[in-house]
């Protein structure tokens, strides 16, 4: 019996879910630019052993009731959204958690952002048409939040680009031939909307120039948390971010930023926060 114990322990370890007692707080679905439907994301989260999941689609919360229905109470679904914002002349992604989903001001702002996204999408289609690239857009425009990713997929299907990366490099990236700057809310306004809805405002995947001065300024405007565990963030940088935000009195967030199956380091549950870190975020909510 004793000789078998190490093997038994190994089997028990392998049988445990990979991400038990953790929460992935940054996932996208087909309600914006993800490849997985809300129910599929929930299934992946449950299979991974996650304790909680936040679907943070771009400028929409329409996946929330669908995810809750699929979870059947077996997985906590944290109300989430990723708001398109602007800060210091650059695009800024603000994550909102634990907000009141029926807040009128937040709902109106998200609807306005979705309208701007559709206008931008149509203009990029028009620019492609001038170049002789005519795409069938009706199916995509029927989606809730048409995006550059949708347009890149259309270009690949039409054999105008070899891959999504190629589509962005040639046409859709910041320096692409049909690029149009994304319009977003001033970050202070976006933070105020999340806080006004009783939610928690977090900075998604902060860039390398995330300085103490910027974190302090954003905290003065009401920012409460910063992502520190996210794809392509080296461990050394993640540790430095943790120290910085702790010194600034902010909470920790994290998530896979999953958009679909194409990138393993973006798999549901591959990044996130501990149960204790989730509870610290929850304690900041006032909704």
The structure's pTM equals 0.86
Residue 87: the pLDDT is 96
How does residue 208 score in pLDDT terms, banded at 50, 70 and 90?
confident
The pLDDT of residue 2 is 47
Residue indicated by tokens 């909102």: 96
Other beta carbons within 10 angstroms of residue 234's beta carbon come to: 8
Q: What residues have CB less than 8 Å from 272, skipping those under 6 apart?
A: 19, 22, 23, 24, 25, 50, 229, 254, 255, 256
Confidence of residue 143 (pLDDT cuts 50, 70, 90): low
CA dist 13 and 143 (Å) reads 42
* Residue linked to tokens 């028009």: 126
Percentage of the chain with pLDDT > 70? 90
Fold of 20-110+191-284: TIM Barrel (3.20.20)
Structure tokens at 216: 């302090």
Per-residue pLDDT of 8-58, as tens digits, reads: 544 444 445 555 689 999 999 999 989 899 999 999 999 999 999 999 999
pLDDT at 198: 98
pLDDT of residue 197: 98
pLDDT digits (tens, 9 = 90+) for 63-94: 999 999 999 999 999 999 999 999 998 899 99
Domain range annotation of the chain = 20-110+191-284
Q: pLDDT-derived band of residue 140, with 50, 70 and 90 as boundaries? A: low
- In angstroms, the CA 214 to CA 212 distance is 5
Q: Are 233 and 205 in contact (CB under 8 A)?
A: yes
pLDDT at 18: 58
Summarised one tens digit per residue, pLDDT across range 252-283 is 999 999 999 877 889 999 999 999 999 999 99
């Amino acid at each position: 019996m004793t000789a078998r114990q190490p093997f038994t322990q190994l089997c028990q370890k392998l049988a445990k879910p990979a991400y038990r007692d953790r929460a992935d707080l940054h996932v996208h679905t087909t309600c914006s630019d993800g490849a997985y439907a809300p129910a599929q994301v929930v299934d992946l989260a449950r299979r991974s052993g996650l304790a909680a999941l936040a679907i943070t689609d771009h400028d929409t919360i329409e996946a929330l009731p669908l995810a809750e229905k699929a979870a059947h109470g077996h997985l906590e679904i944290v109300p989430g959204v990723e708001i398109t914002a602007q800060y210091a002349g650059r695009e800024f992604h603000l994550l909102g958690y634990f907000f009141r989903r029926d807040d009128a001001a937040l709902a109106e702002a998200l609807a306005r952002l979705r309208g701007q996204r559709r206008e931008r999408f149509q203009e990029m289609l028009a620019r492609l048409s001038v170049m002789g690239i005519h795409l069938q857009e009706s199916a995509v425009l029927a989606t809730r939040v048409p995006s550059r990713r949708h347009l890149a997929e259309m270009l690949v299907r039409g054999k105008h680009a070899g891959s999504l990366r190629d589509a962005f490099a040639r046409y859709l990236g910041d320096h692409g031939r049909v690029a149009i700057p994304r319009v977003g809310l001033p970050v202070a306004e976006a933070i105020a909307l999340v806080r006004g809805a009783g939610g928690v405002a977090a900075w998604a995947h902060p860039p390398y120039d995330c300085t103490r001065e910027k974190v302090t300024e954003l905290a003065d405007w009401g920012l409460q948390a910063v992502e520190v565990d996210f794809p392509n963030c080296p461990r050394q940088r993640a540790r430095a971010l943790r120290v910085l935000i702790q010194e600034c009195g902010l909470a920790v967030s994290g998530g896979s930023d999953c958009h679909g199956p194409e990138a393993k380091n973006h798999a549901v549950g591959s990044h996130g926060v501990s149960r204790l870190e989730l509870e610290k975020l929850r304690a900041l909510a006032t909704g």
